[in-house]
Amino acid sequence: MKYSNAKSKLDKLAQKSYSEFYRHPEYEAAVTHWLQSPQYEYPFFPENFLSDCLRLFTRKKESHKNKKLIAEEEVYYQPQLSFGYEDIPFPPPKNPNFTFIDLFAGIGGFRIAFQRLGGKCVFSSEWDKYAQKTYEANFGEVPFGDIREIDEKTIPEHDVLCAGFPCQPFSLAGVSKKNSLGKKHGFEDETQGTLFFNIAKVLECKKPKAFFLENVKNLLRHDKGKTFAVIEKTLKELGYVFNYKIVDAGAWVPQHRERIFLVGFNPDKVNISQKEILIPTTPQKSYRYPELKNLINDNVEGFTIGPGTWETLKRHKQHHAKNGNGFGYSLLTFPIKNGQVTRTISARYHKDGAEILIEQKNNRPRRLTIEEAMQLQGYNPKKFVFPVSKTQAYRQIGNSIAIPAVTDTAKEIAQFIKK
């Protein structure tokens, strides 16, 4: 049975018999998670609905009038919970060799990396409703919402915890903006800064074999190093052996993107020392680097920035130049050289495209197309879909991870946990 058909069946069942559950904000998350992993119980999933789901997707025991029939030949009541996922771009692996969860999942960059290695995602969480739509369109699963509302005890057991937790409280731009508005940042930011401790709660409760956390490099220096010291202290108290590195994704994709990768292992479940925790800063020799000149199209319509935006960007650049700094827009000119990289694409790219503008002859510059922006993060534009507006797609790409860089570290993690 196809994923979409099975989901439709459950929708009808819930509408008819469980109207209260059907109206629950986490209904779709609970149902789509269960469809992919029916062996687990999920948050907010009523027991009576679970039993009816099992009854809906099972084969009833056949009755036999012939009393002489040998018992071993009878067809027993057995679950028929094998769903097909050919109607989604990134189906779960048929024969997974480890499990992981995807916290602060965004649009699923971590999931693509770990699924490529044979991992099965058994739980995902992402609060942004537009990112949830993109996630479901690609993986057939609606992530649960606010992780603060999830009881960590209800999260399934797993081997690896993945989390690209919110970086705004720690990024240079985020801290600067919050300071200008008189707002708190870092761990004092009650909405985002404390979300690391939700990760810690899951680690303490489920004690997975490993974790992989990602954030902006400024996390190391934030609040004169005090923020990262708290993170280190917390992870040590939880008993994890861990290592970290600043990784520039520009070694894998033509985009300068420095991020801190933090990888740890549970020594009770994995025999490993800190020195053995490898976080690659360059790809393997066999890796085929996607040259920027091959990703940028020279004849594109519909992405030219407006005259007001262009004049504003030029004024800003002139202002910064007078103050002796290099802030302002970045313009990509032709011919593009081998090995050339762009600036870091961010979640604000949709506003004016200032980080990466493309020159156009006899015209104002243009933004990257969605397909070009995707490839700077390692997404396949022929496979990955965005069922959202251009604005939301740009935001989601800018908030995501560079998949090839994450994949190489994920390989190192998978190598140890498979042992």
Structure tokens at 253: 């994709």
Answer left, alpha or beta for residue 409, where phi above 0 means left and psi between -120 and 50 means alpha: alpha
As a whole number of angstroms, the distance between CA 348 and CA 328 comes to: 14
CA gap 65, 75 in Å, rounded: 13
* Bridging pattern class, strands 258-265 and 210-216: antiparallel
Which one of 53, 121, 162, 167 is the catalytic residue? 167
Give the three-class secondary structure for 46: coil
The secondary structure of the chain in percent helix, strand, coil, rounded to multiples of 5, reads 40, 15, 45
* Catalytic residue list contains 205: no
Torsion of CA 87, 25, 143, 392, to 10 degrees: 80
396 Cβ neighbours under 8 A, 6+ residues apart: 106, 107, 130, 131, 134, 386, 388
Strands (E) located in 204-248: 210-216, 241-248
Strands (E), 237-282: 241-248, 258-265
Residue numbers annotated as active site: 167
